[in-house]
Copies of this chain bind each other. A is one copy, B any other.
Amino acid sequence: MSTDRGEIETPIFMPVGTKAAVKTLSPADLNDTGTQIILGNTYHLYLRPGQELIHDFGGIHKFMNWNKPVLTDSGGYQVFSLKDFRKIDEQGVSFQSHLDGSRHRFTPASVLDIQRSLGSDIMMVLDECAPYPSEREYALKSNELTLKWAREAREIYEDWSPLYGFRQQLFGIVQGSTFKDLRENSAAELIKMDFPGYAVGGLAVGEPKEIMYEITDFCTDILPVEKPRYLMGVGMPEDIIESIDRGIDMFDCVIPTRNARNGTIFSRNGKMVLKSARFREDQKPIDGECSCYTCRNFSRGYIRHLYNTNEMLGLRLATIHNVHFYLWLVQQARKNILNDTFADWKQKILSEITSTITE
């Protein structure tokens, strides 16, 4: 994948930097983990610090001092999660801030305008993410609305001029809940609009894993292989491998960062609840083969002590490791795809990473 802020090797995982920071990490930390692109949340940035402020600072890259690519979502997912505090109509969605109850409105045009101020390298169209489970009728109407909004966004984007001298791409989002004909219609209509990349949205919202994999597979069979295909909000390490196998190129998820702060660690040898007392005396690194700053310098016992004594350093060290691991995982997938050894590697790595480390 190519952006004005550099090439991105796919498949890629994007750490989530909700409010112009990947929680606990500095840009230097992110570079050390091998991060190539991060995700920012339009909804949160719109509320704090606000579109104008980031505009004044020259965009999100300058604001947070991150020079590599940024993808921003449309804010739709967060707004639709507000449930009782938002109201959808044909033209957009009105909502109340989760912070202070103040009233706001997102439209296909306004979220693009915000993302223009943010200056993200990849922007997303406003969509409605139907909940799971959805009735067919609801999913159909929702899908039609999402397509209408995608057309409006695509039209605005036709004469796009970015603010800060770096091109901005715009991705479409396939919706349609768990209904294959709706997914097919959604993908076909978006392909006609010719976006530079396509996301699969509306998954990882509570449906069984098999359905997630099936719909993902179904969508990637339709979406053009020569363009990036992005599975939004996924997921656990095993989900990422399964989805790469089904043709997905891009991922974002809070799991590696959130779980790190909760004390759960991923590694090539499996998962571990590092804040558990069982690791109190453990002088080994999290993963002796891992090359991240945390594994090169600290023991499980020390990090467990930091959790136990509420020292923030522990959250950061764990986050560095988890993000590094996710980036390592997608790099390994890439290598094995290029070497034509993906199937064997997948079988081996899945059994390793899904085990639980107890000593």
State the A residues within 8 Å of B (CB): 19-21, 23-28, 44, 48-49, 53, 56-57, 63-65, 280-281, 283, 293, 297-299, 301-302, 305-306, 308-309, 311-317
Contacts and interface: CB of A to CB of B under 8 A. Distances in A.
Contacts of A314: 21
Q: How many copies does the complex hold?
A: 2
Contact of A20 (B53, B305, B312): B305
Given A65-B298, A302-B65, A316 B53 contact: no
Contacts of A298: 65
Contacts of A281: 53, 56
A42 to B, nearest CB: 15
Given A53-B280, A280-B49, A308-B48, A313 B21 contact: yes
A57 B302 CA distance: 9
Given A57-B283, A65-B298, A281-B56, A312 B305 contact: no
A259 to B, nearest CB: 16
Contact of A302 (B24, B63, B280, B293): B63
A311 B319 CA distance: 14
A288 to B, nearest CB: 15
A302 B20 contact: yes
30 contacts: A19-B305, A19-B309, A20-B305, A21-B306, A21-B313, A21-B314, A23-B311, A23-B312, A24-B313, A26-B313, A26-B316, A26-B317, A27-B297, A44-B309, A48-B305, A48-B308, A49-B280, A49-B305, A53-B280, A53-B281, A53-B305, A56-B283, A57-B283, A57-B302, A63-B299, A64-B302, A65-B298, A65-B302, A312-B312, A312-B316
Contacts of A57: 283, 299, 301-302
